Amino acid sequence: MLLFIILASVFELNAQESKKNMEGSVSYISGQSIYVKFKSTQGIENDDTLFMNKNGVLVPVLVVQHHSSISCLCNAIRDNSFNVSDKIIANGKVVIIKDSLKIQPEEQIEQDVSEQVLTAETSTSKPKLSRNVSGRLSLSSYSNFSNTMSDDVHRFRYTFSMKASNISDSKLSAESYISFSHKLNQWDVVQENLNKALKIYSLALKYDFNETTSLWAGRKINPKLANVGAVDGLQFQKQWNNLYVGAVAGTRPDFQDYGFNPHLFEYGAYIGQSIKVKNGFVQTSLAFFEQRNSSNIDRRFTYFQHSNSFIKNINIFSSFELDLYRLENGEPKNMVSLTSLYLSARYKVSRRLSLFGSYDNRKNVIYYETFKNYADEVLQQASRQGFRLRINYRPINYLNLGITAGTRFRKEDPRPTKTINSYATYTRVPIINASLTFTTNLMQTSYLDGQIYGMRLSKDIISGKIFTTVHYRRVNFNYVNSNSVLKQNIGEIDFSYQFNKKLFLSVNYEATFQDREKYNRVYLNLRRKF
């Protein structure tokens, strides 16, 4: 803990800065996304707060999600509404609005990972070669101890992420996202295999031949090929107005430790189109890939993904994979089979009511790093795949209600999986001026019947500086193939402190009580933006 205090002091001394007010205007509105245009966004960073002047008072209304040289893609804070040409002000202040900056899972409208990556690139215009450097350094510690464990577990994690556009006004850009983690007194594990501790999720250089032609070299996830995952190699792309084509050649990360594996060669090509329409964008990508294991064909497939907001207040996303090759009794055969399918639709009926539905028939996700407890893991596995329907409704200001129902049935399951998850959030509790949320999660899986009931209270202690959350959950799992019952009481306290717009500290403590056992988890994180 002393290390964090020292580092916080050092960062605080080097992070003082000021900035005059900059005025921009709302240029475009698409669903929950608000686009704000400035003469220049120099000094504005992702996660910054933007303001409106209401009766002479600067009121926080937007949070920056992505920014370019002259515009920002933002999400609205709470119930604020906007019109095109509304004046927006950036003045260097950071305001922590927890129910918007850190939306809780039950309040999110589900979005496929591929959809997030694909729709993050919304511009159809030629990219401008503008200089911009941003990054983040994070130091974390994670401790796990209980009255039944002989040895406590202490894990440390260091992450570095950076994006640099047009370095020194050249055509060269770079991006990286690297983490290194290890357990206390287990350095021998790191020495045995460095890749078990070192995870390079992104490390690549980009060269822009011109405004429409670029080449990436290194490890990178291509937004047009999100389902393919990271590629270690070369990625070339050429764009003509709304049309783009690309080619990829390299290797896949090792599936066991995510390290470099030269034996997993892959190559492919893709074509796509991105068109700006009145209500947003219509984007489509089609790719053909072949993956090998040493000299043998491991997989040959085509991948399709499509995002559509052509109709006002309706967003549609779809993706599927078709395998074109397989071994049958040791003999290679060229045949077509559907191996992955995901469909989703989101309809904003009104400012108060929205609907979301999805069908997921993809393989399970592999997590190389996760901090989920047992109850969260069971709930997530039960909610994956199958059909899902979500309804979000705001009957009055500050009150948000939501319910999600899902079902999944596979031939290998002895009985279908069914889930019902609901929440109710009131963002301005009288007197204490806090946000209060109640949650209920009911599930039936192939091996258990479970219920999780929760309550969470969140409050700004000092606006823009100190924020805290208190969370309690009651877990009740009944295992159908035995007489076993798991009952847990989970309490959690989260404390965060914003030193300034670039330095952030958070402390999280979670305690789990079951029978005579008690489990404790402490998570510390110090994050510095630059």
Domain boundary, last residue among 341, 369, 397:
369
Mapped to the 3 state alphabet, what secondary structure does 262-323 carry? CCCEEEEEEEEEEEEECCEEEEEEEEEEEEEECCEEEEEEEEEEEEECCCCCEEEEEEEEEE
Calculate the average pLDDT of the chain.
82
* pLDDT for res 438: 96
Q: Are the C-beta atoms of residues 294 and 263 closer than 8 Å to each other?
A: yes
Same domain, 350 and 277: yes
- Residue 373 CB partners (closer than 8 Å, separation 6+): 490, 510, 512, 521
Same domain, 364 and 382: no
Continuous segment of H or E residues that includes residue 478: strand 466-479
- 231, two tokens: 């590629």
What type of residue sits at position 511? A
Alpha carbons 354 and 64: distance in angstroms, whole number: 23
CA atoms within 13 Å, Cβ hemisphere of 307: 25
What type of residue sits at position 415? R
Quick count: other Cβ atoms within 10 Å of Cβ 478?
14
Q: Is the pLDDT of residue 8 over 50?
A: no
Helix, strand or coil, per DSSP, at residue 261: coil
* pLDDT for res 79: 57
Average of per-residue pLDDT across 158-162: 94
Q: Ranked by mean pLDDT, which of 57-66, 114-123, 272-281, 311-320 comes out on top?
A: 311-320
Q: Are the C-beta atoms of residues 421 and 403 closer than 8 Å to each other?
A: yes
- Quote the pTM value: 0.72
Give tens-digit pLDDT for 34-91: 888 888 777 777 767 888 876 666 677 888 877 777 788 887 776 567 777 788 888 7
If 0-12 CB within 10 Å is exposed, 13-18 middle and 19+ buried, where does residue 180 land? middle
CA atoms within 13 Å, Cβ hemisphere of 233: 21
DSSP string for 41-63: -TT--TT-EEEEEETTEEEEEEE
- DSSP letter at 363 equals P
Same domain, 331 and 401: no
User: Which residues does residue 238 pair with via DSSP β-bridges, in sequence order?
Assistant: 213, 245
Helix, strand or coil, per DSSP, at residue 255: coil
- Residue 267 CB partners (closer than 8 Å, separation 6+): 247, 248, 249, 250, 289, 290
- CATH number, residue 403: 2.40.160.10
- Residue 231 CB partners (closer than 8 Å, separation 6+): 219, 220, 221, 222, 225, 248, 250, 251, 252, 266
Nearest to 509 by CA among 525, 520, 498, 497: 520
Return the minimum-mean-pLDDT range out of 104-108, 213-217, 490-494: 104-108
Domain boundary, last residue among 340, 369, 398:
369
Same domain, 403 and 452: yes
Average of per-residue pLDDT across 365-376: 66
* pLDDT for res 376: 78
Nearest to 512 by CA among 149, 192, 202: 149
Nearest to 250 by CA among 237, 270, 236, 238: 236
Is the model more confident about 146 or about 374?
146
Q: Is the pLDDT of residue 1 over 50?
A: no
Give tens-digit pLDDT for 377-426: 777 777 777 899 999 999 998 899 999 999 988 777 788 899 999 999 99
What type of residue sits at position 47? D
* Assigned domain for 252 exists: yes
Domain boundary, last residue among 325, 352, 369:
369
* Assigned domain for 146 exists: no
User: Long-range contacts for 259-265 (Cβ within 8 Å, ≥24 apart)?
Assistant: 259/194, 259/195, 259/198, 260/232, 263/293, 263/294, 264/291, 264/292, 264/293, 264/298, 265/291, 265/292
Same domain, 232 and 360: yes
Same domain, 376 and 354: no
Same domain, 408 and 388: yes
Alpha carbons 203 and 217: distance in angstroms, whole number: 9
* pLDDT for res 97: 39
- 418, two tokens: 């069914």
Alpha carbons 320 and 343: distance in angstroms, whole number: 9
Quick count: other Cβ atoms within 10 Å of Cβ 322?
16
Band the pLDDT of 31: cuts 50, 70, 90: low
* pLDDT for res 369: 61
- CATH number, residue 45: 2.40.10.170
* Assigned domain for 150 exists: no
* Assigned domain for 177 exists: no
User: Which residues does residue 280 pair with via DSSP β-bridges, in sequence order?
Assistant: 277
Q: Is the pLDDT of residue 5 over 70?
A: no
Helix, strand or coil, per DSSP, at residue 339: strand
Give tens-digit pLDDT for 283-300: 888 999 999 998 889 889
CA atoms within 13 Å, Cβ hemisphere of 323: 13
- 153, two tokens: 């577990």
Same domain, 7 and 84: no
* pLDDT for res 19: 41
Q: Are the C-beta atoms of residues 131 and 56 closer than 8 Å to each other?
A: no
* Assigned domain for 458 exists: yes
Residues of the chain above pLDDT 70, percent? 84
Average of per-residue pLDDT across 112-131: 47
Q: Is the pLDDT of residue 528 over 90?
A: yes
Q: Are the C-beta atoms of residues 202 and 175 closer than 8 Å to each other?
A: yes
Same domain, 262 and 315: yes
Average of per-residue pLDDT across 152-167: 91
Q: Is the pLDDT of residue 229 over 90?
A: no
CA distances from 402 to 58, 110, 354, 425, 472 (A): 31, 12, 10, 9, 19
* Assigned domain for 172 exists: no
Same domain, 336 and 400: no
Q: Are the C-beta atoms of residues 248 and 227 closer than 8 Å to each other?
A: no
Same domain, 72 and 217: no
Give tens-digit pLDDT for 178-214: 999 998 888 888 888 898 899 999 999 999 999 899 9
Quick count: other Cβ atoms within 10 Å of Cβ 174?
16
Total domains present in the chain: 3
Q: Is the pLDDT of residue 141 over 90?
A: yes
Give tens-digit pLDDT for 476-497: 999 888 888 999 999 999 999 9
Q: Is the pLDDT of residue 265 over 80?
A: yes
Is the model more confident about 235 or about 498?
235
Range of the domain at 498: 1-18+96-103+371-530
Q: Is the pLDDT of residue 472 over 90?
A: yes
Alpha carbons 397 and 182: distance in angstroms, whole number: 46
* pLDDT for res 151: 73
Give tens-digit pLDDT for 333-359: 888 888 889 999 999 999 899 999 999
Same domain, 454 and 471: yes
